Amino acid sequence: MAASRVALVLLVPALLGAAQFIGESSYSLPPAETRIGDLYFGGTMLRIEGRLDGSVIAGAQSVNISGPVTRNLFIAAQSVDLTGAAGGDLVAVCATLNVHGRVGGAVRAAAGTVYINGPVGQDVVAGCANLVVTNKAEVLGDLAATTRSLEVAGIIRGDIKATAERVVISGSIDGDVDVIVGDRLTLTPDARVYGNLRYRASKKLDIKNPDLVFGNIEYVPLPAPKDIAEARDLKPRPGIIAAFFLPFAILSVLGALAFGFIIIAIWKYVLNEALTRAINHWGRTLGFGALGFLAGPMSIVVSFALIVTIPTGLVALAAYVVFVYVAKVLAGMFLGKLLFRLFRSPDISLWVAAPVGIVIVYGLCAIPVAGWIIWLVSLAVGFGVIAELLGMSRTA
């Protein structure tokens, strides 16, 4: 989990530089053009063929980058295609991610299908249905994934740590392979594993070509539920924990950004007005927010205690969970708008302020111990913004 906290906090600095917001439905940077500064985009299609000296933060239906981007890519889209180059990290939540170009930093993705078909300067971390590392890819760091199907035909300079139903290795692995696997673990004749191979499965598997592993091969049977209860000293390895939870941590941040873009697109002016009122009357915001945050669980407990109102309590519990999620996102928007006001940019677009604040809030909430306090304060602020929205709806 420490790795996930570091990853969340490292997202923050990339969003604090000079930014240029594009609010059009589609935008294209021509091949011969160079643009300086971070690019924020919210629309349908983004195409970058020229050079961008900065980072890209985008929410779109499709994103195609064939030109060089000198810094990071933070993208929420249906499809993402990178045929150019990214100097920093690529962080994406999407249905399909195709990486054919060079990524100087790490690739971190939550997607349906991920294709790595080019060089990656650091780690590849993915939570997806299918992950394919082709024979044209070279990953200089580790590969960590939670996926249904994992195929590695390229070169991995570090270790592989994964949880998958099916694993097929036909490439070269310089480090160790440590996987939790379902029904298939295969080494093709072209595979080379220079480290150790350790796999956990419900039964011993025929991995094919075991002589292609230059280290040791270790099989660890997955325990039955009764064995887990009896084996009190059984502890999961930290590496497996990081590999499993990191994609979900990234997904939570990118999911919040995508949700934020959606509600801005639908209720931009109402949100902007509510956030302005919340900042101008921050004491009232915290007070009503804390009241709503605490009153919700109390009413749910009473509903369950009275027996006959249990169905109502279940509905209220589901609604409260939704409100908690929304409140955290709104707290990020509140913080982003407040920060730009403090830096004398009160008229900055919500499209720019919101993602900055959301990432900062999620990063601060990931800090050990103090993160819980920050989380509570952020929920109080978020519920306060919800109160402002409800108040505006009554007067409308």
Phi-psi region of 239 (alpha: psi -120 to 50; beta: other; left: phi over 0): alpha
Residue 250 near residue 144 (C-beta atoms within 8 A): no
Predicted local distance difference test score (pLDDT) of residue 318: 77
- Mean pLDDT rounded to a whole number for the chain: 80
Phi-psi region of 298 (alpha: psi -120 to 50; beta: other; left: phi over 0): alpha
Confidence band of 60 (pLDDT split at 50, 70, 90): confident
All domains of the chain in start order, with CATH? 2-238 (2.160.20), 249-395 (no CATH)
Residue 73 near residue 89 (C-beta atoms within 8 A): yes
Contacts of residue 199, Cβ cutoff 8 Å, sequence gap at least 6: 177, 178, 179, 180, 181, 185, 205, 207, 218, 219, 220
Q: How far apart are CA 215 and CA 212, in angstroms?
A: 9
What global pTM score does this model have? 0.58
Q: Residue 121: pLDDT above 90?
A: yes
pLDDT 10s digits, 354-366: 888 888 888 888 7
Q: How far apart are CA 15 and CA 207, in angstroms?
A: 45
159 class by beta-carbon count within 10 Å (0-12 exposed, 13-18 middle, 19+ buried):
buried
Using CA of residue 356, residue 359, residue 362, residue 365, what is the dihedral sign? negative
Pairing of strands 90-99, 79-82: parallel
Contacts of residue 6, Cβ cutoff 8 Å, sequence gap at least 6: none
Better-scored residue on pLDDT, 123 or 127:
123
Pairing of strands 177-187, 138-139: unpaired
Q: Residue 381: pLDDT above 60?
A: yes
pLDDT 10s digits, 324-335: 888 888 888 888
Q: DSSP characters for 323-372?
A: HHHHHHHHHHHHHHHHHHHHTT-TT--HHHHHHHHHHHHHHHHTSTTHHH
Q: What percent of the chain has pLDDT over 90?
A: 36
Residues found in the chain: 396
Q: How far apart are CA 260 and CA 231, in angstroms?
A: 44
Predicted local distance difference test score (pLDDT) of residue 195: 95
By C-alpha distance, which of 81, 89, 72, 111 is closest to 248?
Answer: 111
